[in-house]
Structure 1
Amino acid sequence: MSTTPDDRLVDGESADEQEKDAEATRGVGGSERAGGPSAGSDAEADLPDEARRAIDELVAEATSRRKGRGALGVVAVAAAFVLAFLAVRALLGDSGSPSQASSAGAGSRGAPIDSVGARTPAEIAKSGTIRVGVFSDKKPFGSVGQDGQYEGYDIVYAKRIAEDLKVKIRFVPVEAASRVEFLTSGKVDVILANFTVTPERAQKVDFAKPYMKVSLGAVSPKGKAVTRESQLAGKRVIVVKGTTADAYIQAKHPDWKITKFEQYTEATNALIDGRGDVWVTDNTEAMAFSLKNEDRFVTGITQLGPVDSIAGAVQKGNVELLSWLNEELVQLGEEKFFHKDYERTLKPVYGKAAKPEELVVEGGAL
């Protein structure tokens, strides 16, 4: 009987083709498994009995058929079965439940971040570690020093929270635009990253009582100082994405020419390099930068827009942790904690350019 080329591929394999099929089969299962786990390997030993039986049956069928593409197709299924099982097993712990990402030590950057959802103070205490989202590049509030350790006004507050909860602290670096997302996704328990309270943000997260007050300011080169809000209309304005400065300009001055950056260091570098005429940010940050670079820059506008408050934030609906933070603020106010924090972290930067009463909030009361 004559056959078509396609029929021959199915019904009449050559010796070479049969040998190729046999080699492929040996690569998956049987007594001569060459390409995959051997009969005595750890990977195969961990396979459940039903998985091993299913694979052996598929391999046996492939071996008996030796029918060109048919055999290879069955072999492919067997191989896929093994790979799929091992992939699932890699994602599951020995108990069969999803395993969590490994936790990095306090102050580490670029490490995997656990997403475990909102946790109560009791749950945080039981875990032994609180995860706090902070800035890593915004002096003097949250930054990484030359010794690789976090430092700043927000950092001192965060450490006190951990101390009173009797737990270790894990600092998780955040960008301005990612603060809300890190809370809503459960990557951190608390955000202490110079977080200005706004109605829009309050719809997504729960803010504790404030521990600082702030307005916007504008930094510009000394020789071309911007001293009035009206002057900003014709300037190249630099902002950090997701900040109150960004939101204020979009709402009040959508016609201004603005350039947005993800990080504060990117914004300051753009100002230094002349890629913008003025940087609009929190007045506390503006003054800190201009004082550090007083030979080149000045904070020509110290109050732009309304006076706002800065507070810690937790995941929406985490009432227990929110209440704990508010009670903690009252207790800290009795010992003038934030005035001491100011003396330690902000006064060396601001000197006589600012007074603690202009920035500090004690006991959560404006």
Structure 2
Amino acid sequence: MIGRRGLCTVAAGLAILGGTRRAMAETNLATIRQNKKLRVAIDMGNPPHGMLDGKFQPIGSDVETAQLLAKDLGVALEVVQVPTPSRVQFLLSNRADLVISALSITPERRQVVEFSIPYASLKTVVAAPAAMAISSYADLAGQRVAVTRGTVNDQYLTQGVKNVPNVTVTRFEDDATTSTAITSGQLQIYASSLPLITQLKQTNPSLDLAVKFTMHGFPIGIALRKDDPEFKAYLDNWVTTNLRNGKLVDIYKKWQDVVISPEELIAYHD
């Protein structure tokens, strides 16, 4: 027999579960269409994926991808600006319906969120002044390296230098702050995504920053909450369609100057 205290505990658990299910129901595909609004979390400090133009309007490859998705859904787009380390948290706390923000598909993230098939791919690299003799993690011995906290760049750098002596990994809270540390000369070695390094060099032509080696290449997907098969099926079909018709390929080429392979992304299995 369950006592009064046990009944209260069960009731509390059911209330939490019910609240979670209601929150999910409020953000499913049908409700998004009914409300005529799609909330997408995008890091605006991660050019050229997401940034603000001279009129403080969101632009970038992820912004344009979200705009295309909202247009095809027939709803308005609300860009939810989010710091890099908080992208998944914004989704789980129902402050956004989706994350389209250079979010790599990893086993760790799959434990807490679901992903569409990849809509693009990304390389994470280590860059430094051209004269520096760096071609592997081992060459970072005795060096200071800048990286943004909580990113896959941080993850692979940390793993890579685990057994390398005297490496100081300096972590910043967002890409904008990390990039400022490089452009100001505070630090010289940068572990980041290839598009961000390319963008940084374009906006700072005198910056002495060359790609030294690739840490990892990985696919990036649209993140959604788990247990929403209808929305995932829609997103998978949407990504497949817009890879094959070239729209997503054109967006990535426009902003990243990289040509992605649609069939390679469509066939991806982690």
Whether TM exceeds 0.5 here: the answer is: yes
Paired residues for 1:186-205 under 5 Å: 186-205=94-113
Alignment TM-score, normalising by the size of structure 2: 0.82
Q: Distance in 2 between matches of 1:241 and 1:216?
A: 14
- Select 1:337's aligned residue among 235, 247, 265: 247
Contact residue 85 and residue 173 of structure 2 kept, 8 A: yes
Identity level (%) = 24
**Which residue identity is paired with 2:251?**
D
Count residues with an aligned counterpart.
Answer: 242
Aligned-pair Cα RMSD in Å: 2.1
* 3-state SS in 2 of match to 1:329: helix
Alignment TM-score, normalising by the size of structure 1: 0.62
* 3-state SS in 2 of match to 1:296: coil
* 3-state SS in 2 of match to 1:209: coil
**Which residue identity is paired with 1:356?**
V
Q: Deviations over 1:29-83 (max 9, x none)?
A: xxxxxxxxxxxxxxxxxxxxxxxxxxxxxxxxxxxxxxxxxxxxxxxxxxxxxxx
Matched, 1:145 2:39: no
* 3-state SS in 1 of match to 2:70: helix
Contact residue 85 and residue 174 of structure 2 kept, 8 A: no
Matched, 1:287 2:195: no
- Select 1:318's aligned residue among 195, 219, 228: 228
- The 1:201/1:164 distance shift into structure 2, 3 A limit, reads same
Unaligned runs of 5+ in 2: 1-21
- Select 1:168's aligned residue among 41, 65, 76: 76
Matched, 1:364 2:266: yes
Contact residue 184 and residue 316 of structure 1 kept, 8 A: no
Matched, 1:241 2:153: no
**Which residue identity is paired with 1:258?**
V
Deviation for aligned residue 1:194: 0.4
Q: Deviations over 1:99-149 (max 9, x none)?
A: xxxxxxxxxxxxxxxx95462111100011010000111111111111121
**Which residue identity is paired with 1:165?**
L
Q: Distance in 2 between matches of 1:252 and 1:331?
A: 37
Unaligned runs of 5+ in 1: 1-114, 348-354
Contact residue 121 and residue 165 of structure 1 kept, 8 A: no
- The 1:161/1:210 distance shift into structure 2, 3 A limit, reads same
Q: Distance in 1 between matches of 2:74 and 2:225?
A: 21
Q: Deviations over 1:312-352 (max 9, x none)?
A: 100122222111100101211231112221343233xxxxx
Q: Distance in 2 between matches of 1:285 and 1:124?
A: 32
Partner of 2:208 in structure 1? 297
Matched, 1:268 2:171: no
Q: Distance in 1 between matches of 2:100 and 2:213?
A: 23
| Greater Cα shift, 203-212 or 289-298 | 289-298
* 3-state SS in 2 of match to 1:183: helix
- The 1:361/1:225 distance shift into structure 2, 3 A limit, reads farther
Q: Deviations over 1:138-177 (max 9, x none)?
A: 1111111111211111111101110111000100011121
Paired residues for 1:104-183 under 5 Å: 116-117=23-24, 119-183=27-91
Contact residue 116 and residue 187 of structure 1 kept, 8 A: no
Contact residue 42 and residue 50 of structure 2 kept, 8 A: yes
Deviation for aligned residue 1:284: 2.3
- The 1:148/1:116 distance shift into structure 2, 3 A limit, reads farther
Partner of 2:137 in structure 1? 229
* 3-state SS in 2 of match to 1:297: coil
Contact residue 220 and residue 277 of structure 1 kept, 8 A: yes
- The 1:167/1:287 distance shift into structure 2, 3 A limit, reads same
Larger relative contact order (CA 8 Å, sep ≥ 6): 2
Q: Distance in 2 between matches of 1:211 and 1:326?
A: 9
